[in-house]
């Protein structure tokens, strides 16, 4: 255990986050996402919801503010206007940690291709569909 570090952030996840550089992206995905197939690096977060993992990750990971968009969630199918309750929860968690950064909605293959190029994928046990988020890492200012 470490002081002031969310216990959800185990050694493997902390390593993946610390190894990321500015502009690298990490995906946090639901239990239905084909994470093993798509991941360069896979971190299992079995038994955890996406919201718990998003809050833990954003408690230590700076969000990139050099670009206009650094937070991306999956759409419900191809409908960027459809909003599920989990989407509202994801957006609320993001707003809590990065209040100035909007969450962009990406559809189907656009989202999947971005996940495939991510530094790492965190696979949660979130049962709700389309409960996926990509975070672009920023910098810690001196």
Residue 42's beta-bridge partner residues?
A: 121
The CA dihedral of 117, 70, 76, 39, to the nearest 10 degrees, is: 20
pLDDT in tens, 34-73: 999 999 999 999 999 999 999 999 999 999 999 999 999 9
Quickly tell me which residue has 């798509």 as its tokens.
38
How many whole angstroms from its chain centre is CA 73? 8
Q: What is the mean pLDDT of residues 16-42?
A: 98
Given 64, 87, 97, 130, the catalytic residue: 64
Closest CA to 29 of 104, 114, 137: 114
Known catalytic residue at 33: no
Given 6, 24, 65, 112, the catalytic residue: 112
Environment class of 63 (CB within 10 Å of its CB; exposed 0-12, middle 13-18, buried 19+): middle
Average pLDDT over the chain, rounded to whole? Answer: 97
Q: Is residue 127 within 8 Å of residue 10, measured between CB atoms? A: no
Known catalytic residue at 87: no
Known catalytic residue at 22: yes
4: left (phi over 0), alpha (psi -120 to 50) or beta: left
Per DSSP, 81 falls in state T
Q: For the chain, give the percent of residues with pLDDT over 70.
A: 100
* pLDDT score of 8 more than 90: yes
Quickly tell me which residue has 């995906």 as its tokens.
27
Closest CA to 90 of 104, 77, 78, 108: 104
């Amino acid at each position: 255990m470490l002081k002031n570090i969310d216990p959800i952030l185990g050694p493997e996840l902390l390593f993946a986050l610390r190894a990321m550089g500015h502009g690298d992206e990490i995906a946090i995905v639901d239990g239905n996402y084909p994470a093993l197939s798509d991941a360069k690096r896979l971190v299992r977060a079995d038994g955890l919801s996406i919201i718990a993992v998003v809050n833990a990750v954003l408690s230590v990971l700076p969000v990139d503010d050099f670009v206009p968009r650094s937070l991306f969630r999956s759409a419900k199918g191809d409908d960027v206007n459809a909003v599920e309750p989990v989407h509202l929860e994801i957006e609320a968690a993001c707003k809590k940690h990065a209040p100035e950064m909007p969450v962009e909605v990406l559809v189907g293959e656009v989202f999947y291709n971005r996940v495939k190029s991510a530094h790492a994928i965190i696979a949660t046990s979130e049962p709700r569909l389309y409960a996926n988020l990509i975070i672009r890492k920023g910098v810690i200012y001196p």
